[in-house]
Amino acid sequence: MDEMKAAVTLNRLKVDPPRGSPVIDPKTGRQGILRHARAVRVTVLWDDCDHEQFAMRADVALDLTTRVGRIDGATIAATMLAESARLDVSRGVTWDAERICGEAHVRIRDGHGRWHGIDGPTTGDVDPRALLAAVLVATLEVKS
Amino acid sequence: MICVPLSKLKVMPRVGSPAIYDDQPWTIAGMLDNEVWIVASDGSGRTRYVDIVHVALDLSEPITARIDGATVAATMLAEKAELNVSQGVTWEASRGTEDVRVSISARDPVGYPAAALFPRWPAVVFSDATEPREILAAVLLAALGVKS
């Protein structure tokens, strides 16, 4: 899988991931955790730096790939989608993604068994995390 | 405040987990032997290397934009049960007359829906906890606690 397909730059989202979310620099592949999100800039604690640094939102992406020893960004994304669908995320969420007739579809289920299906854009991706990323952008994208 | 001291756990929470240090909210940014690298959640940019005995995993319901420590704890339990956590986990707490239990739902290694119950029968966790997150904290300690 192209791991950049499973990453969403923060300038495309109108809802910010919570503090502690795994992030990646799409240009360099540098990894870190999100500290604070502001209107234009965010603060990130990069793995190779011992203090927070400012970065432009377009230069920081929520990382949906699996990384050893850190919070799974896909769980973060699924939780954001669940919150947008007004599901109860206090008992966790699970998710499924598949491509049907060329379109991405994600289904989120909360801890009470309630679920919400979300249709995404037409895509050539088949990897579940890339599909989740596409649906996240389609659902929470910034409308200009 | 519902929390579990890291020094009582034999499995450490992942980077990004919410933590409590000095009664303040922090985020775990890394670990090195018995030290934890934490960053403040108040936006001040403070970072600290502190001894593991002073830091706890925060299972309280997040009131700001923080990762939910209960989800972190449930994921730790699911991994202990060898469930597939890559598509998230959900959890449910219950209590009997004197004991408490937590059910974790995720996937099995093949990807089919699967569940695990903690503690595993016939073990019992006695606790006075009534709030679901308190029950989760008690069960986490019982399942992943360091035997002293």
Q: Residue B126: its pLDDT value, please?
A: 95
**3-state SS track over chain A:** CCHHHHEEEHHHECCCCCECCEEECCCCCCEEEEEEECCCEEEEEECCCCCCEEEEHHHCEEECCCCCCECCHHHHHHHHHHHHCCCCCCCEEEEEEEEECCEEEEEEEECCCCEEEEEEEECCCCCHHHHHHHHHHHHHECCC
Cβ separation A93–B132 shorter than 8 A: no
pLDDT at A99 over 60: yes
The mean pLDDT of A97-112, rounded to a whole number, is 94
User: Looking at this predicted complex, what is its ipTM?
Assistant: 0.93
Percentage of chain A beyond pLDDT 70 is 97
Q: Please report the pLDDT score of residue A1 as a whole number.
A: 52
Q: How confident is the model at residue A2 (pLDDT cuts 50, 70, 90)?
A: low
Residues B17, B24: Cα–Cα separation, whole Å:
14
CB nearest A75 (choices: B41, B65, B71): B71
CB contact under 8 A, B61 and A95: no
Q: Per residue, what are the HEC states of A22-39?
A: EEECCCCCCEEEEEEECC
Say how far apart CA B32 and CA B26 lie, in whole Å.
17
Partner-chain residue, chosen from A20, A70, A93, that has the shortest CB–CB distance to B88: A93
Residue B49, CA distances (Å) to A128, A142, B14, B84 in order: 37, 37, 16, 32
What average pLDDT does the segment A17-25 reach? 96
- pTM comes to 0.94
**What does pLDDT average to over chain B?**
93
First and final CA of chain A: distance in angstroms? 30
Interfacial residues of B (vs A; Cβ cutoff 8 Å): 14-18, 27-30, 39, 41, 43, 45, 47, 61-62, 64-68, 70-72, 74-75, 85-92, 105-107, 132
A interface test, pick of B37, B71, B92, B131 with most A CB neighbours within 10 Å: B71
pLDDT of residue B33: 83
Mean pLDDT of A121-141: 93
Q: What is the mean pLDDT of residues A13-37?
A: 94
pLDDT digits 0-9 by tens, A77-96? 999 999 999 999 999 999 99
Distance CA B14, CA B77 (A): 13
**CA distances for B112 relative to B25, B84, B107, angstroms:** 36, 9, 5
Q: Which residue of A has its CA nearest to B59?
A: A90
Q: In the prediction, which pLDDT does A3 show?
A: 63
